[in-house]
Homo-oligomer: A and B are copies of this chain.
Amino acid sequence: MFNIKPAASTPIYRQIIEQVKEKVIIGLLQPGDKLPSVRELSTQILINPNTIQKAYQELERQKIIVTVLGRGTFVAEGYEGKKDAEQMEALREYLHKGIIDALYLGLSREEIKKLIHQLMEELDTRSE
């Protein structure tokens, strides 16, 4: 279900967040689907329950999942993109940095565009 690298520089709880978001975006997780329980996932991927809890709480704060007391955690209904101005600016900065790194790697502008295109197509493939 999850592919966690404890040694990576991005903290484990963020890896979980990203992977849940990706699964929701590509449709592998549908609204209403149940996520593994904190304890369950904790034994599955050998991560401390607190770490998973932290990831789930952040996902709930972002309205990507909802927790039902005593029942479990579920993918939220319709996430509806908001185009929040602040987050939009953060995204621009994030991609700006990515572009600079790409240029440093020797990619041309055309190659960068192709890469982006390719990455979006990969998303479609994974969802099948």
Docked-complex contact A98 and B91, CB < 8 angstroms? yes
Closest Cβ of chain B to A121, distance in Å, is 9
A104-118 CB contacts (< 8 Å) to partner B: 104-107, 109, 112-113, 115-117
Measured between alpha carbons, how far is A95 from B121 in the docked complex, in Å? 13
Given known pairs A83-B106, A83-B107, A106-B81, the reply for A113 and B116 (CB within 8 Å) is: yes
Given known pairs A18-B97, A113-B117, the reply for A68 and B103 (CB within 8 Å) is: no
Closest Cβ of chain B to A123, distance in Å, is 7
Does A34 lie at the interface of the complex (its beta carbon under 8 Å from any beta carbon of B)? Answer: no
Measured between alpha carbons, how far is A71 from B61 in the docked complex, in Å? 27
Contacts of A95 in B (CB 8 A): 95, 98, 102, 115-116, 119
